[in-house]
Amino acid sequence: MKKDREQISFARELRRRQTEAEKALWMRLRNKQLEGVKFRRQQPIGPYITDFTSFERKLVIEVDGGQHNEGKERDEERMKWLMERGYRLLRFWNNEVLMNLEGVLERIREALG
């Protein structure tokens, strides 16, 4: 129970500290703006917190900065864990979201279709 509360608290903190790329993408995903699909941001799933998740479509979207270069093993472990539970994962770099948001949204639409 304590771990769940800590994880929820941490997810709330991540929502407050979103990167510019996460903010930009969230502005286009929120309120079912993309294909009428509901996304949640900084969502706890099992032992992980995902950047954006559609539970109805079992799609996780991760937006990564340079810090993710060091954590490749952990990212692979997380991706495997999510995939074992039926989730699909899309991963974008911060600069990709900021420089080509429409292209990123198109790739998400394709994954939703």
Across 73-95, b (16+ Cβ under 10 Å) vs e yields: eebeebbeebeeeebebbebbbe
Give yes or no for a contact between 108 and 90, defined as CB atoms under 8 angstroms apart. Answer: yes
Model confidence over 22-80: pLDDT tens digits? 999 999 999 999 999 999 999 989 999 899 999 999 999 999 986 545 567 888 899 99
Q: Domain-by-domain residue ranges, the chain? A: 2-112
Model confidence over 88-97: pLDDT tens digits? 999 999 999 9
Assigned CATH class of 2-112: alpha beta
What does the pLDDT average to over 11-22? 79
What is residue 32's predicted lDDT score, i.e. its pLDDT?
97
